[in-house]
Structure 1
Amino acid sequence: MSNKKIGLVSLTALVLSSMIGSGIFSLPQNMAAVAGAEAISIGWLITGVGIIFLGLSFFFISRLRPELDGGIYTYAREGFGELMGFMSAWGYWLCATIGIVGYLTVAFEGLGVFTDSENFVLFGQGNTIAAFIGSSIIVWLVHVLIAGGVKEAALVNLVATFVKVAPLILFIALGLWYFDVELFNTDVQATSLNNSVGDQVKDTMLITLWVFTGVEGAAVLSAHAKKRSDVGLATVLGIVIALVLYVAITILSLGILPREVIANMPNPSMGPLLDVMMGQTGKIIITACLIVSVLASYISWTMYSAEVPYSGAKNGAFPKILDKLNQNGTPINSLWFTGFVVQFCLILVLAFEQSYTNLLMISTSMILIPYFLIGAYLFKLAIQTNAKWYIKLTGFMASVYGLWIVYAAGLEYLLLSVVLYVPGILLFLYSNRKFHGKITLTGAEKVILVVILAIFVYAVYRLPELLAA
């Protein structure tokens, strides 16, 4: 009963839920702070095209190689070998595991709206003792939920996804009603930012990318899909729905209040905007839905975080102990591993809030290389199988987009991400040796390792400067 497979609707909800976390509720302020309407529109166009090609890459790979499970890790391994497969898995797992801690802190910061006052602080910014205890309880409740079966966890996520999307649709409906074309056209180039439209577009790119992280969710859980053909379809459906919501919320906001006003709003900025349109209940609605949203995202991302080390352990990329399913079909040891890491990160939040924020930003950049490798693998696979021209084009365009977002992230974040990759490589070498009886690296992989170590030495040398930037 507990290991039933996940259908198309639940898979799509998982993709949508993992993309729509806390970011969308702060999107109006985040975008207005760095760009005007023209640059924002161009930024969404570039991201929309790029992310659709990325989503189609998952779609076509699932058709060309339906037997492959594990998504991010498996595709990189099949395309570029054991080492690159591991690096893709490690970067993705670390990004996901460190990142989901942010969902817990945001949830309890949201609860603080209802409990805290000037004279009494219970949850603060999600970094108080009370928030730590509450977050820890949620970590292990979700552990129990997922251990009971991925199907059951996906069903809970499906219900929560409907709850989180409802206020977004309400916001869009009211935004269409209150939209002022004249206000929207007042300063479309945001001249007060003293930044060219091109620079503004670049500044929007990382924001637009981060709100799409999670696009790979259906592929990561492909082994649990009722039909393998649903994996690619769920990915594309999730992207299209999220893209419509993101663009509508961002663009409509600029027709409700001036850009400068939105740029200086506290987050989640959808609350004050909703207040303008419907009165003082707006902030309460948005805050309540924000809490539901991030907790639903926490469930879906925990499922992904547990699945990736399990997939890697089956091929010797992660320690063999993580290659175990319980009676409900859940990768239980990998789930325990993820839970303990999240618990440790909560301690870091409590003790070193600012340092943890820096760690979160660095780890987030680690997802860029895995995304590039997806497009590159489809392009390689399409050439090898002489697939249709549009499949080759999809792989090529997804690869170009992957390189673009790596460039948009900037050299500093990429150097810092290498610092986090190297400990993982040591884990890989240990696991690889235990699995095969010896370290099995190709000549090309040895060259890659030397290059990574050289970059690591340079990054460590510049570490104080990079952290201060």
Structure 2
Amino acid sequence: MASTAQKMSKMQLTAMVVGGMVGAGIFSLPRTFANATGPLGAVIAWLIAGTGMYMLARVFQSLAERKPELDAGVFAYAKEGFGDYPGFLSAFGYWIGSCIGNVSYWVLIKSTLGAFFPVFGEGNTVVAIVVASIGIWLFHFMILKGVQQAAFINTVVTVAKVIPILVFILILIFGFRMGLFRVNFYGAGLEGGIFEQVRATMLVTVFVFLGIEGASVYSRYAKKRSDVGAATITGFIIVTTLMVLVTLLPYAVLMRPDVAVMRQPSMATVLEAVVGPWGAVFVSIGLLVSVLGAYLAWSLICAEVLFTAAKTKDMPSAFAKENKNKVPVVALWATNIVVQLIVITTYWSRDAFSLMLNLTSAMALIPFLLVAGYGLQLTKRRETYDVRPGERNRDFIIAVIATVYTAFLLYAGGMKFIVLSAVLYAPGTALYFWCRREQNVPVFTKASDWIIFVLAVIGAVVGIYWIATGYITI
């Protein structure tokens, strides 16, 4: 258990949520949405995503209050509701997906610098990889000095990085042209109907909402348990408002096809088109601060998930080791070694940022679905509802919507990313074998565990074959 000095206030927990959510994704929204849809489709997409993620945030809030003994909520809820192996897969998927997300941050940092220094290219040149590698290990050794210090830095960075986003929004509000917004409204020039346009944005909305569970993951450090739920909802409202405005306002200052071909980070390119070169520099500086802050938050979250899973015997015990500063040292080393290896592989990727964005989202979907499913289980069984029983019907409706939403996201993402997820899930099961052997217990205790494992292996084989034959390009 952490010492008193290590405890986080409600403000720090909220900063973990905002810091985790406001990262690479928000700066890439104008081009990503303009590629897929116009303002109408964007509004529908955000209504679906906002409602679904709000319901998921409410599930996290409810579980934090009703199941306070379950720390590192994401995987702990999956284990409690569905068993040891699904719980492990949730922890592993969330962890490896977060590692991939951290790689996307480095790719976008180098791509941003590439606009001013061509040697960085699109973020996957040799020089870019070397500089990113130095950054990975600088952060690694800073975090080893202590969680509280890193959390304080994250709070400061969170405030600093929101300023350029607010300036971007204000400038575009003053430049708003209703006639241009009307021309772009239905996504002129795009093929397919509104449903297909909206579907094409769904994985992106998952990526930008990742971090909503940041306070829940770090719940063991909260000064008060009630702060976890409050921080989750507050962070969600702040970030959703920013993301909707950043998505919609560019349609009122530029034509959609022009935004769709802009270099990432497209927020910088949009502001440059409106106010001149200083706009690109201003937003780019904000992006660098933002992404580095998000990387810090997610490095903490990644290590915390492995550490807590090891403490509850869902990962090998080695990951439970802490240093004198109460930092999960082995988990942090494992996280950054994986991040380093994936950064190196981006050299061979055609569009490293888009791949990392979509794969991160896909890896998060199964853990989120299991959390929503567990919330639904509690309400159906009336478990914990001897206290405040009047909340059960409300919580049931919230859990149903969150479950349907996350299931829809799996469909919207498509088979390609489900199969790519299996390529990671299947070999990751080796850690589960290690963990179970360590405890001298059978690896699989239920038929359903075997079925899930066999499906993961089949998916991995299909995924490798599709990559080898070029059906999936990375």
Length-normalised TM-score, structure 2 = 0.92
C-alpha displacement of 1:426: 2.4
- Find 1:422's aligned residue among 415, 422, 426: 426
| Counterpart residue number, 1:194 | 191
- Find 1:294's aligned residue among 279, 291, 296: 291
Tell whether 2:88 aligns with 1:86.
yes
C-alpha displacement of 1:356: 6.0
C-alpha displacement of 1:126: 2.9
| Counterpart residue number, 1:275 | 272
Equivalence map 1:124-273=2 (5 Å): 124-273=121-270
C-alpha displacement of 1:447: 3.2
| Counterpart residue number, 2:67 | 65
Q: Deviations over 1:160-184 (max 9, x none)?
A: 1111110111111122211112221
| Counterpart residue number, 1:77 | 79
- Find 2:311's aligned residue among 305, 311, 314: 314
| Counterpart residue number, 1:101 | 103
Q: Deviations over 1:251-275 (max 9, x none)?
A: 1111111222222222222223223
| Counterpart residue number, 1:55 | 57
Compared CA separation, residues 414 and 108, structure 1 to 2 (3 A):
same
C-alpha displacement of 1:453: 3.4
Amino acid across the alignment from 2:439: F
Amino acid across the alignment from 2:182: N
| Counterpart residue number, 1:467 | 472
Distance in 2, matches of 1:381 and 1:181, equals 48
| Counterpart residue number, 2:6 | 4
Equivalenced residue count is: 463
Amino acid across the alignment from 1:401: Y
Taking only aligned residues, the RMSD between alpha carbons, in angstroms, comes to 2.1
Contact 1:313 1:320 in 2 (8 A): yes
Contact 1:3 1:329 in 2 (8 A): no
Amino acid across the alignment from 1:124: G
Q: Deviations over 1:31-66 (max 9, x none)?
A: 111101111111111001001001111100001101
| Counterpart residue number, 1:389 | 393
| Counterpart residue number, 1:365 | 362
Distance in 2, matches of 1:410 and 1:429, equals 29
C-alpha displacement of 1:458: 4.3
Amino acid across the alignment from 2:425: Y
Compared CA separation, residues 2 and 141, structure 1 to 2 (3 A):
farther
C-alpha displacement of 1:440: 4.9
Q: Deviations over 1:92-147 (max 9, x none)?
A: 11111122122123223323444x2xxxx443333344433322222222112221
Distance in 2, matches of 1:244 and 1:256, equals 19
Distance in 1, matches of 2:111 and 2:453, equals 41
Amino acid across the alignment from 1:86: F
**Identity of aligned pairs, percent?**
36
C-alpha displacement of 1:285: 0.2
Q: Deviations over 1:288-342 (max 9, x none)?
A: 1111111111101111111111112123322211111222221111111112222
Secondary structure of the equivalent of 2:83? helix
Distance in 2, matches of 1:460 and 1:271, equals 37
Distance in 2, matches of 1:105 and 1:266, equals 13
Greater CA drift, 285-294 or 143-152: 143-152
Amino acid across the alignment from 2:472: L
Distance in 2, matches of 1:125 and 1:73, equals 34
Distance in 2, matches of 1:103 and 1:192, equals 31
Contact 1:28 1:253 in 2 (8 A): yes
Greater CA drift, 387-396 or 452-461: 452-461
| Counterpart residue number, 1:20 | 22
Tell whether 2:47 aligns with 1:45.
yes
Instruction: In structure 1, list runs of 5 or more residues that go unmatched.
Output: none
Compared CA separation, residues 415 and 220, structure 1 to 2 (3 A):
same
| Counterpart residue number, 1:443 | 447
Equivalence map 1:328-339=2 (5 Å): 328-339=325-336
C-alpha displacement of 1:354: 3.5
